[in-house]
Chains A and B, each alone.
Chain A
Amino acid sequence: MSAPTNRPLRRLLKTIGAMVAVGVLVVGCTSNEPEAEENAGATGDSNAAPAGGNDEPGETVTIGFSGPAADHGWLAAINSSAQETAESYEDIDFRAAEGTNDASLQISQIETFINEGVDAIVLLPTDGAALTDVAIQAMQAGIPVVNVDREFSSPFAARSTILGDNYGMGVSAGTYACQLIEDNSIADPVIAEIAGLDSLPLTQDRSRGFADALSDCDQEVDNRVAAEFTVESGEAEASNLLQAAPQIDIIWNHDDDQGVGVKAAFDNAGRDEFFFIGGTGSCNAMQWIEDGEMEATVLYPPTQAADGIKLARLIAQGKSISDLTQVEVPRRTVLYAPVVTADNLDEFVDQCFES
C-alpha cells in the first residue's frame, strides 16, 4: 500500500492540508466543514494516517494481531477493519496471524509473536480464560498486550482492554423495549428473546442486561431461545419460538447475523404482530429498519479490534491519547451500545457490516 516513492508526495499533500487548515482557522470560520473534508481526504484513497497529535507518524512499531476465525460477518468486519487501520499507518509493521477458533493454536501464535519480539500484541481471544496464561507470558516478556472484546481472567494479562458493552447492549435493548411498551401502552406484553450461543459469557451478559432493564419497568422475558449466531440456527429457533408463543409483542434478537434466519422464520410463518429489535448492527438490519420491517437494532461496533491496533501503537510508541490529559493510555475502554432506529439511522449506517 505505501510504496516508498509515494511518501514525498504524501508529505507535501499533508503539509498543504495542514496549511489550509491553519488558514481556515486564521480566517476564523467555525464551520465543521473543512475539518470533515480534511478527514475524508486523509482516510480516503491515499490511505494515509490522518494528521493530528496521535496520528503523527512516530517510531515504527511491530504489532502482532491474532483473532478468531472470521466465520460470520461481525468477526469478518473485526478482522478487515483491523487490517485497514493497521495499513493506514506507515509506522506500523503489521503481523496478522491466521484467524482460528482453536485456543491451543492461538496460544502458539502468541508464543511465536513473543519469540519474534514484536512491540505489542493485539489479541481477540477465542476464549478469554484459555489465552490468559500466554498473555501474561507476553506481558512478562515486556510486550504490552491489548485485549479486545473477550476479556482475560487476570488483570495482569493485558496492558489495556477494549470491550464492546454486552451487558450495556442488553440494557439498551431492554430500555428501548420498555419505552415501546409505554409509548404504545401495551398491556401485559409478551416479550421474547432470541439469544446467541448460550455457553458464551457475552450472551449471558446480554441476557442479564436485557432482563435487568426490563425489570426496571416491571417486565420480564416470557420466552427465550438460544441460537448459534448462524442463519440456519436463527431460523430453526425462531420457528420453534413462534410456535411457543402464539402472540408476541416484542422480540429482541441478539445478533443480526443470525437475524437473517430469524427474519426468514417470521416471513415463513407470516408473523409480524411484534416489534422486532436486533443486535450488533449489520447492513441487512439497517436496510430492514429503513424498509420498516424492523423496529431497531442495538449496535455492537465491529471496529474494536481496529481501535485495539490504535491503542497498541500508542502504547508501543509511549504516547497517550492526545485528547485526554492522562500521560498513559487508559487501562480499560468500554464502547457504548446505542439503539439505531429509523430516526437516527443516517448517523450509523456507515458503521454497519456486511453479514
Chain B
Amino acid sequence: MSEQATPPPAVTPPPDEHQRVEAAAEETAKRESSFARMMNSSVGRNLGLVIALVVLIIIGVATAGDRFASVDNMLTILRLASVIGVVSIGMTFVIIGGGIDLSVGAIVALASVWATTLATQTMAENSTWLVMVLVALAVGTGCGVVNGTLIAYGRLAPFIATLAMLAAARGLAEIISDRKTQIVDVREFVEFFGGSFLGIPRLVWIFALVSAIGWVLLNRTTFGRRTISVGGNAVAARLAGINVKRHTLYLYMLVGFACGIAAIMIIARTTTGSSTHGLLYELDAIAAVVIGGTLLTGGRGTIVGTVFGVLIFTTLTNVFTLNNLDTSSQAVAKGVIIVLAVLLQQRVAGRNGST
C-alpha cells in the first residue's frame, strides 16, 4: 500500500523518455516476421517504384536501344536528376516531420542569384570560388531559418509560411538580378562542379552523397527518429521530451540547406544564376517524395523511395525525348505514372499489412 503511494505520479515524463519510446519502437520492429521485415526493408517497401522504373528502362531499351543504354545517356539522366533530387531529399525530411515546404524552388532561385551577383563573383575571383558555395548555402539555410521560425515559434501553418516565402524569395531574386540572367565567369567554380570524378559527373556524386547522408540521418540517428515521431504525433513527441519547436526549425533549416546545395549545382549546370531557376520545383519535389511512399501527413517515409521517385520522372522525360515525342503526351504520362506508382505502392504495402 505504502509502496504504491510513495512514488508521486509523474506529471512530466523523465527526460530520457523519448529514448525509451524509440527503443520500444525498435523492439517491435525486431519482433516482426522475416517476411514482413523483408517487405519493410527499403527494397520491399519500394517494390512498386522498382517495378515502375524497370518498366520504364525496358521501354527505353526497346524503343531507343543503344542510345538509351549508353553510359553517356545514363549519366545524363543522373545529372538531370541530381538537382531536383537533392531538393527532394530535403523535402522528404520536412514532409516526414509533418510539414511541407512550398518555397524550395524560390529558395533555389534566390540562392543561385545571390551566389552569382557581380559582388560575390568578384569576391570569389579575388579569393576562392568557395565563397560562392558558402553564399548559396548561407542564403538557403537563412531562408530555412525564417521558414522554420515562422512555423515553429510564430505558429504559422507550414503551407502559409512557405507560400509567403515562395513569393518573397523569388521576388527578391528578381530584384537582386534585375530579372537578368547572371552568367558565371568564375571558371574554377564551373569547372569543379561541372567536372567529373572517376568518370562520373561531380553533380551525380553530390546527389549520391546527399542521399547517403540523408538515409543515415533518417534511419540511424536520433535526429531521424525524432523527425518520424514529430511527424507522426507532435503532441506525443513533446510529451516524450522532444523539443518539437526546435526540431521543426532544424527541419526547415535542413531543407533550406539542401536548396543551397541545389542552387550550387544548378549554377554549375547552367553556368548562370537566374530568378527563373527552380520553377515548379516544389511540385516536382513533392511528387517525387509522395510517389516515393512518404505520407503527406507525416510520420512515415523513406529516402530510397524519394530517390526512385526522382529517377522515374527524369528517366521518363529522357525516354520521351529519345523517341521524339512531344511534351503534352509526356505530361499525360507523368500523371498516369504518379497514379500507377502510388496504387502499386498501396497494393504492396496493403498486402504486407503494415499500413
Tell me the A residues contacting B by CB distance below 8 Å.
70-73, 76, 198-199, 222-226, 228-237, 239-244, 246, 257, 260-261, 264, 267-268, 284, 354-355
Contacts and interface: CB of A to CB of B under 8 A. Distances in A.
B270 A235 contact: yes
B328 A198 contact: yes
A222 B271 CA distance: 28
B277 A235 contact: no
Contacts of B186: none
A283 to B, nearest CB: 10
B181 A355 contact: yes
Contacts of B275: 71
B67 A246 contact: yes
A243 B321 contact: yes
A121 to B, nearest CB: 24
Contact of B180 (A73, A229, A235, A267): A73
Given A73-B181, A198-B327, A231-B274, 4 more contacts: A229-B276, A236-B317, A239-B76, A242-B76
Contacts of A72: 179, 276
A194 to B, nearest CB: 11
A231 B181 contact: yes
B321 A241 contact: yes
B262 to A, nearest CB: 11
Interface string B264-282: 0010011110111111000
A193 to B, nearest CB: 10
Contact size range, B: 20 to 34
A230 B276 contact: yes
B137 interface: no
B40 interface: no
A340 to B, nearest CB: 19
A220 to B, nearest CB: 11
Contacts of A355: 180-181
A261 B112 CA distance: 14
A232 B270 contact: yes
B166 interface: no
Contacts of B64: 244
B122 interface: no
A261 B279 CA distance: 14
A224 B325 CA distance: 8
A284 B183 contact: yes
B181 A71 contact: no
27 contacts: A71-B276, A73-B179, A73-B180, A73-B181, A76-B179, A76-B180, A198-B327, A230-B274, A230-B276, A230-B279, A231-B181, A231-B270, A232-B274, A233-B279, A234-B270, A235-B270, A236-B317, A239-B79, A239-B80, A240-B317, A243-B67, A243-B76, A243-B322, A244-B321, A244-B324, A260-B183, A355-B181
B318 interface: yes
Contacts of B318: 240, 243
Contacts of A70: 179
A269 to B, nearest CB: 8
Contacts of B70: 243
Interface of B: 64, 67, 70, 72-73, 76, 79-80, 174, 179-181, 183, 194, 266, 269-272, 274-279, 317-318, 321-324, 326-328
B237 to A, nearest CB: 38
Contacts of A234: 270
A150 B4 CA distance: 83
Contact of B321 (A76, A198, A240): A240
Given A230-B277, A243-B67, A243-B73, A264 B272 contact: yes
Of B73, B275, B279, B324, most A-chain CB atoms within 10 Å: B324
B178 to A, nearest CB: 8
- 10 nearest interchain CB pairs? A240-B321, A230-B276, A243-B73, A244-B322, A226-B327, A235-B270, A198-B327, A264-B271, A261-B270, A231-B270
Given A246-B67, A354-B180, A260 B272 contact: yes
A244 B194 CA distance: 21
Contacts of A224: 324, 326
A207 B49 CA distance: 36
Nearest to A354: B180
B278 A232 contact: yes
Contacts of A264: 269-272
Given A71-B179, A72-B179, A235-B270, A240 B76 contact: yes
A231 B272 contact: yes
A198 B277 CA distance: 19
A244 B277 contact: no
A232 B79 contact: no
Given A240-B321, A243-B72, A264-B270, A257 B181 contact: yes
A198 B274 CA distance: 22
A236 B174 CA distance: 22
Contacts of B271: 260, 264, 267
A244 B67 contact: yes
Contacts of B326: 198, 224, 226
Nearest to B320: A240
A179 B326 CA distance: 27
A267 B194 CA distance: 10
Given A73-B179, A73-B180, A260-B181, A268 B269 contact: yes
A267 B269 CA distance: 10
A257 B276 CA distance: 11
A231 B276 CA distance: 7
A18 B184 CA distance: 48
A236 B80 contact: yes
Nearest to B68: A243
Nearest to B278: A232
B279 A225 contact: no
Contacts of B183: 260, 284
Contacts of A231: 181, 270, 272, 274, 276-277
Contact of B269 (A230, A235, A241, A354): A235
B277 A232 contact: yes
A208 to B, nearest CB: 14
Contacts of B181: 73, 231, 257, 260, 284, 355
A239 B269 CA distance: 10
A73 B274 CA distance: 11
